[in-house]
Amino acid sequence: MVDMHGNSSKTLRQSLISQRKAFAAESVFPQAKEGLITSLQNFLAINDVLLRSVALYCPIQDEIDLRPALLAWANQDAKRSLLLPFARPDKHLEFYLWKEGDTLSPSKHGVLEPNPGNIERPQMVPDCILLPCVGWNASQLEGKQHYWRLGYGGGYFDRTLAQLRHANPKLLCVGIGFHWQKLTDSQWAAQAHDEPLDALITESGLLF
């Protein structure tokens, strides 16, 4: 579906977001959404022993809403927690415990966020972070296959992942996207500051 030819990242993002909006209105979208959710459930099952806290996101601009599937996962075990990100002014993210029904407030980017002042919802360090992809790329790094995320351009996740990975080398960073969002190196290639993903979840399955 993607058809770009070396334009700027900003133009590429705008095109991909428009294509995602159109895709969400197509008849094949419900099947693709179901396939992606199934891939997420498979990922959670594979990593059942490792995962206790998973950071998700509130969807914007036709992103898939993962909350129902993740709530079902968390409700199976009292030791499991779901976290939501809060964007600090210095463009780093903090993650806070989230429960269904919590009051959330929109950030300046329109993303619903938790209240960092709520003492009943402490800040936590996730075992896994799920990141929505505007686009994604697969390439080799130091002889290994890696997946890279094209986000919205704010750099919040890259700054945060670099910091959290230093503190927790076992942290899993997992992209969420559709197979048609895959980009070639000529369309977009990761830069030095971009953090690689540990895995990618699409409607076609899990990519490690």
Give the residue numbers of the binding site for substrate: 63
The Cα–Cα gap between 198 and 21 comes to 27
Tokens of 118: 């709520």
Bridging pattern class, strands 144-150 and 135-141? antiparallel
| Binding site as annotated, residues | 63
The Cα–Cα gap between 176 and 134 comes to 9
- Provide φ and ψ at 52, rounded to 5°: -125, -30
CB burial readout 170-188, b (16+ within 10 A) else e: ebbbbbbbbbbbbbeeebb
Q: Crossing angle, helix 29-46 and helix 9-24, to 10 degrees?
A: 110
